[in-house]
Structure 1
Amino acid sequence: MGINQLPEYGMYWASDIFIGNAGFKKTMTARRFEKLNQNLHLCDRESEPSKGELGYDGLYKIRPLLDMVGSTMWDAYLPNRCLTIDECAIAPKGRFSPTQYMPSKPLRKGLKVWMLCDSRSGYCHRTRIYVGKPSDDLAAAALSHKVVTSLVRGLEGRHHHIFMDSFFTSVPLLQHLLHQGLYACGPTNPCRRGYPEALKPRNVGKLAPGEFYQCQHGNLVATITKDAKIVSCVSSNSAPGIVGIGPGKLDGDASDGDCGLVGLGIPRPLPLLLYQENMRGVDLCDQLRECYQVGRPCKKWWRYFVWFYVNLCIVNAYVVQRESRGGSPPAGFNGKQFTQRHFRIRLAQQLIGDYQGARGMERAARKRHADSPLEYGHRLERMSERSRRCRNCTNKGLRHESVFGCKICNVHLCRGGCFSEFHK
């Protein structure tokens, strides 16, 4: 369904040849799929603790899925040096209290999921779902610290480089990660605790494009510079005073006659260049995941997480297959580039295998005449509650009324031989 996307489930089994899918009809009936979809559960609902009881879990309905998928994603792919921590959003239709408003995201309102992804390949190593604000004020203030430490658990002492946005970046967090043998980098709010007083905007004054100031304390480097706007950054994976050239212009425009300045680029500190190059892991994962969405809108919030993790596992499997073969296509593929679409088609074919439902085998063995109207989706169905004149009888000069007819032709027909006679 991610490859062949239709607005509703029932359209896959439609009798219209331009909408219905022959492979779906051959594999299982619409009623069987509907029953399987209705009775899909991931936990024992009878033993679920209610809110306020001991052992209450807001994600109890999907906890077995989270435990199984979390361990598998972590063990299947060895992390590279640069990793990204960022958030993604899921758009729900039902009512779920942890739904967040995120004005900076393309999807402004949805369910928030924090992800740890590989900066180079986009592989998702670990996720954490936001289930609401903690009741304790101290716990709410340390939310960003808890999220990062839980996502990087198991990487201590491996000297990975963690890149994150301003929601997480703070001086105490970078000191904690550095103590665990992890480097980090990211923009931050100058008002946060531990940021140098000398680099706060009120003390620095007005900056020209490309101008920057830095302070160092141990392995931590704080930077403030101006690009399109004033940017403050804290890092522990770069030394101060090293400048790179980023895309942009110093001053003036081509129309001003300052052609020598156009295209030279703006001098930028190394922490910002590293951040721009490696803060893309979650975005790569989202691009792969959004191309072929599985699942459809519903009123149950936990189903959105089920389809999210199913889609995420498919993306991770595609990344593992692509990285393990070094970009070369698998055996039996004749195209130039093996894309995610080809991977999903092969995955669906392998999952279905040679299975064929009993109803599908009967239909495959049934012989129909090539000129039969049934072959093209024409059926004798109930058209309305009020009877109308039969079109076939009207053409013959007779007057008969019927509530039945053909919806494809949009005509009323008698239940006798008028249907087959009209379609000849």
Structure 2
Amino acid sequence: MSRDRYLAILRYLHFHDNEDTSEIAQHPLVKIKPIIDYLQSKFSVALIPGKNLCIDESLVLWKDRLLFKQYIPLKRNRFGIKLFELVDCETGFILGFIVYTGADTDYQKFDLGVTGDIVAHFLQPYFHKDNWYTSTLAESLHDRDTGMCGTVKSNRKGMPKLENKLVRGEVQVAHNNVWMAMRWEDKRSVRMLTTERTRT
């Protein structure tokens, strides 16, 4: 392909009618929404995932101006487009993703807060199966026969106070009929929450 042809395609390739003035047309991703929806549909059926799934965020490098560009200092690329991703742990295959655009981010709402809603949105097809994630969604997922396990912040709503003075390598544990919380002391405290061993 010649350079001029490539530039012409790049200039005129569109997936949305620029004359559309509807409310949907005001969404930040409206010009590429058909491509995102197509990829979502293909990713979700390309693989039957294993038992363990992971939900996390990643940052796609983007240095130009963008309304919803994020700054996350702990990421390798500190500026970029934030994605929430559902990944099969065994293969590393992305089963679904959400492009974070702020208040108008596209995902189904469950009245569980942003983090909880995103987890529930991703896990809907996998409820009543074994999956892993961490948040105060523990009881909600447990009610749907869906296990979870992973790290959690100490200030997460509903987390027990695990404040004993520990030396490196020591562990403190608390539990109820739904979950078990653990604090392990390393260079800093690492906290985990799981419902995997409490399901019957």
TM-score scaled by structure 1? 0.43
The CA distance in 2 between the partners of 1:184 and 1:154, in whole Å, is 15
- Residues 126 and 191 of structure 1, relative CA distance in 2, 3 Å threshold: same
Instruction: Name the amino acid aligned to 2:7.
Output: E
Aligned twin of 1:218: 177
The match for 1:170 among 114, 135, 141 is: 135
- Give the letter aligned to residue 178 of structure 1: H
Shift of 1:74: 0.5
2:197 and 2:21 map into 1 onto residues whose CA distance is 49
Which amino acid in 2 is paired with 1:176? S
Change (3 A) 1:110 1:140: farther
Q: Which has more radius of gyration?
A: 1
Q: Which residue of 2 aligns with 1:186?
A: 150
In the alignment, does 2:197 pair up with 1:232?
A: no
**Corresponding residue number in structure 1 for 2:87:** 117
Cα deviation 1:87-121 (Å, max 9, x = unaligned): 11112243212111111110111110010011111
- After TM superposition, which residue ranges in structure 1, 4 or more long, deviate above 6 angstroms? none
Aligned to 2:27: 57
Query: Which runs of 5 or more residues in structure 1 are unaligned?
Result: 1-27, 164-168, 240-424
Contact 1:128 1:151 in 2 (8 A): no
Q: How does 1:353-368 map to 2 (within 5 A)?
A: none
Asked if 1:156 is matched to 2:115, the reply is no
Compute the displacement of 1:237 (Å).
1.5
Counting matched residue pairs gives: 193
CA apart distance, 1:192:
2.1
Map of 1:47 onto structure 2: 20
Aligned partners of 1:83 and 1:162 also within 8 Å:
yes
Q: Which amino acid aligns with 1:142?
A: G
1:166-191 Cα shifts (integer Å, max 9, x gaps): xxx323x1111111221111222222
Secondary structure at 2:87 match in 1: strand
State the structure with bigger RCO (CA 8 A, min sep 6), 1 or 2.
Answer: 1
Identity rate of aligned residues, in percent? 26
Counterpart Cα distance in 2 of 1:88 and 1:62:
19
Give the whole-Å Cα distance in 2 for the aligned partners of 1:182 and 1:141: 16
Cα separation, 1, equivalents of 2:25 and 2:14: 20
User: If the length of structure 2 is used for normalisation, what is the TM-score?
Assistant: 0.88
Could you list the runs of 5+ residues in structure 2 that have no partner in the other structure?
105-109
Structure 1 residue 40, shift from structure 2 partner: 1.6
* Larger fraction in helix: 1
Say whether the 8 Å CA contact 2:184–2:190 is kept in structure 1: yes
